[in-house]
Chain A
């Protein structure tokens, strides 16, 4: 079950929607990823688990082409980010929605303006149409009557839901969630988990979730991979994860599972 660095995982025959091949990435002297291979098929929900500082968020930013890999290739829809022009990459990124760990809502804009921002930048829709999209996006995440509020006036859980609403505004094909339940109470965490599943089913999106919350990972995942010391040491379904004998994975998931059992 344990994957060695450099080993390709996923479906060997079909072209994957998103793929990373032998990706290395470091910041200064600190090497974060040491040859990661990953494939994500269209429509599936992949969860990346791992301890803090193992490069989960870096992996997400590599997937969306924000960081260039030092070695290896990151492909989206059959083409490497390195082969795209700046404009071409910007155009492709409109097919993504990114839900940031802290929400990353623009604090100088109210909620409506936040959600409308990407629509205004990329389309020539009328104000009435934008209003309708904003209402629909907020409705999708179960929020109402907060359009005129500013991010600082709503709770952390609501900020994450607004961040998801904003990510949905351009009808993305891929949704990236960076620690969507971190810092939330169990009720709000469960709401976010349900939203991830609901959004996937309703909008038929490919989802990649980065988390160290095992309950969340097991709830939303079709496939789970684990990052450990720059390598991908596990890939499988949630059921396979629970029965794995990879010691590092067992050590990581055991405390969380004990909490669940209690």
Chain B
């Protein structure tokens, strides 16, 4: 009986903690969005993030994008060669690449490389009182630390996604044309005829939203870290897991919305 009541208490405490965390996140969002409307911090803060999030992520995005494109080529070739429609490989690599795999894989790479680093850096700053130090100097930490990170991450993710898309499509084309020996003009012609600007827009909007999600979750977890090195580790783990799930779930819903928009407003048949 007592063990049951203890576990109920513990469950209640955990639920209360989660509710408090959601409330804290809402307050954090409100404060951050309010700061977007205030004068921005010095350019240096943005430049540093531009280098960290954007420039330094290019190599990993190139590698991942190229291999995703090539894997798509291998998979589609296996299936399409059975049906004898190998020349249709092009659009089946390009369209999923720009609307689904490009934004998702880029977002997950940025989450691992940049998001976790954001949580770690802000978490360490929190537990070593560096964030308190900013407060003590009359400097708003949301303005100097969070605003540049979130804005740059949201802006850079679509750019990195474009790089990933391009290199993925090139990877698929190289494999299709030069390894699987598909007629190049057929490959390119089919790609051109099935590839639509709408898919690119959807991919870029997704990337922008994922950029915000990654930076907001990771900054929030870092900014609210407690309890020394263990706390920093826990914050990184929670930030990455929550942002990962959010990206996957949001991608599904955004894809559904995009499909609806396509059929009702964008399709040439409308």
Q: Does A170 contact B (CB under 8 A)?
A: yes
> Which residues of B lie under 8 Å from residue A66 when comparing CB positions?
132, 135-136
Q: Which residues of A contact B135 (CB under 8 A)?
A: 66, 93
Asked if B268 is at the interface of the complex by the 8 Å CB criterion, the answer is no
| Residue among B128, B138, B139, B144 making CB contact with A104, cutoff 8 Å | B128
Q: Which of chain B's residues have a CB closer than 8 A to the CB of A248?
A: none
A104 touches B42 (CB 8 A): no
Cβ-neighbour of A93 out of B124, B136, B144 (below 8 A): B136
Provide the A62-101 mask, 1 if CB < 8 A to any CB of B, else 0: 0010100000000000000000001001111110111011
Question: Which residue from B130, B132, B138, B144 sits with its C-beta under 8 Å from A92?
Answer: B138
Q: Could you tell me if A100 and B137 are in contact, using CB atoms closer than 8 angstroms?
A: no
Instruction: In the complex, identify which listed stretch (A4-12, A115-123, A131-139, A142-150) lies at the interface while the others stay far away.
Output: A115-123
**Is A61 an interface residue when CB atoms closer than 8 A count as contact?**
yes
Chain A residue at smallest Cβ distance from B133:
A104
- What A residues does B133 contact at CB under 8 A? 98, 100, 104, 106
- Complex Cα distance A64/B135, Å? 9
CA distance in complex: A93, B129 (Å): 16
Contact: B129 with A102, CB < 8 Å? Answer: yes
Classify the secondary structure of A's interface with B: mixed
Query: B137 to A118, Cβ gap below 8 A?
Result: yes
A254 at the A/B interface (Cβ < 8 Å)? no
In the complex formed, the residue of A with least CB distance to B144 is A121
The answer to whether B132 and A170 have CB atoms under 8 Å apart is no
Q: Are B130 and A121 in contact (CB under 8 A)?
A: no
Q: Nearest residue in B to A95 (C-beta to C-beta)?
A: B138
CB of B140 within 8 A of CB of A96, answer: no
- Which residues from 75 to 125 on chain B have a C-beta closer than 8 Å to any C-beta of chain A? 121, 124-125
Write the nearest CB–CB distance from B56 to chain A, whole angstroms: 14
Q: Are B129 and A104 in contact (CB under 8 A)?
A: yes
Contact A120 B42 (CB under 8 A): yes
**Residues 39-62 (chain B) with a chain A CB within 8 angstroms:** 42
Give chain B residues whose Cβ lies under 8 Å from the Cβ of A64. 136
Q: How far is the CA of A93 from the CA of B132 in the complex (A)?
A: 12
Task: Name the A residues within 8 Å of B125 (CB-CB).
Answer: 106
What is the CA–CA distance of A61 and B133 in the complex, to the nearest angstrom? 11
Q: In the complex, what residues of A have CB within 8 A of residue B128's CB?
A: 102, 104, 107
Distance of B53 from chain A, by nearest CB (Å): 15
Measured between C-beta atoms, what is the minimum distance from A163 to chain B in Å?
A: 8
Q: Which residue of A lies closest to B31 (CB)?
A: A86
> Which residues on the B side are within 8 Å of A170 (C-beta)?
137
- Chain A residue numbers with a CB within 8 Å of B138 are 89-94, 122
Decide: A121 and B139 in contact? CB cutoff 8 A. Answer: yes
- The chain B residues found within 8 Å of chain A, CB to CB, are 42, 121, 124-125, 128-130, 132-133, 135-140, 144
30 contacts between A and B (CB under 8 A): A66-B136, A86-B140, A90-B138, A90-B139, A90-B140, A93-B135, A93-B137, A94-B137, A96-B136, A97-B136, A98-B133, A98-B136, A100-B132, A100-B133, A101-B129, A102-B128, A102-B129, A104-B128, A104-B130, A104-B132, A104-B133, A106-B125, A106-B130, A107-B130, A120-B42, A121-B42, A121-B139, A122-B137, A122-B139, A170-B137
Q: Which 4 A-B pairs have the closest CB atoms?
A: A90-B138, A93-B138, A98-B136, A104-B129
